[in-house]
Structure 1
Amino acid sequence: MHLSIGEVSERSEVSVRAIRHYDKHGLVTSIRGSNGYRYFNDQSVTEVRQIRRLIAAGFTLSEICGFPACMRAREEAEFCPETQAALLRHLAEVEKHICALETQRAELVKALSQQKCP
């Protein structure tokens, strides 16, 4: 482990504050130097990028904590096979939300079209 938190931040394009938060939740591993600073290994850059990707996909940190390590260890176009079920469940939830929002939108459009100007 030889990367400072600033180096991980720069390489991953994620804020130092966010990396500290991920470290606090055990999503990345650091060790403390004798100076009190956190130090990370090279794999941490990939893990931080992948955590950001999962958050962008709508997962919470609590959910990410429950995923197998392979889900944070790869920075490829595809997630590891063990995670497909979690991704499919999340996609189904997102699609339900979209359907509900489309229904609400239709009701609003209908209500507005029935408005008569005084």
Structure 2
Amino acid sequence: MSKSSGKFRLTMKIGELAERTGISTRMLRYYESQGLLRSERGSNGYRYFQDSDIERARTISSLIRSGLPTRLIRVVLSAEDRPDDWTQACDSEFAALLRAELTTLDDKIACLSLSRSTVSAYLERAAG
């Protein structure tokens, strides 16, 4: 069923988007709550999405699986949505966000490495 609303054509409900992308409706609602995906509500309260949301949802899912947090995905998608508005300042701001994320990942790796060493030492003692 297609619905027409204002500035864009809405063609599918969330269940169909989930089916066409392989992404659960729960995750699609999460993407929407994080400002990564947009829908319009019909008079019946249902969410309606555009055909272009299929690829957008797949992109979001892929970025999340790669470990990128939603706050950075929002910036990446913003750059794709408005390439003419992307400036040197935006590049610098995004680079700063990526540096902070890299520091966070390095801290997590260090913590996991320490935990791994501790578990390994306990296993060696238990085996001996």
TM-score, normalized by the shorter chain, greater than 0.5: yes
Is the CA contact (8 Å cut-off) linking 2:18 and 2:28 kept in structure 1?
yes
In structure 2, the gaps of 5 or more residues are 1-9, 82-90
Q: How many residues were matched structurally?
A: 109
Q: Which has the higher strand share?
A: 2
Are 2:77 and 1:69 equivalent residues in the alignment?
yes
Are 2:34 and 1:25 equivalent residues in the alignment?
yes
Q: Over the residues paired in the alignment, what is the CA RMSD in angstroms? A: 3.2
- Distance in 1 of aligned mates of 2:127 and 2:47: 64
Query: Comparing both chains, which one has the higher relative contact order based on Cα–Cα distances under 8 Å and sequence gaps of 6 or more?
Result: 1
In structure 1, the gaps of 5 or more residues are 74-81
| Cα gap change, 1:55 to 1:116, in 2 (>3 Å) | closer
**Residue type of the alignment partner of 2:22:** E
- Distance in 2 of aligned mates of 1:113 and 1:15: 42
| Cα gap change, 1:11 to 1:108, in 2 (>3 Å) | same
Q: Which has the higher helix share?
A: 2
Aligned residue in 2 for 1:113: 124
Query: So what's the TM-score if we normalise by structure 1?
Result: 0.65
Query: So what's the TM-score if we normalise by structure 2?
Result: 0.61
| Cα gap change, 1:55 to 1:104, in 2 (>3 Å) | same
Aligned residue in 2 for 1:2: 11
- Distance in 2 of aligned mates of 1:12 and 1:98: 32
- Distance in 1 of aligned mates of 2:119 and 2:68: 29
* Residues 44-55 of structure 1: pairs in structure 2 closer than 5 A: 44-55=53-64
Q: Name the % identity.
A: 31
Superposition misfits of 4+ residues, deviation over 6 angstroms: none
- Structure 1 position 69, deviation (Å): 2.3
SS at match of 1:67: helix
- Distance in 2 of aligned mates of 1:52 and 1:72: 16
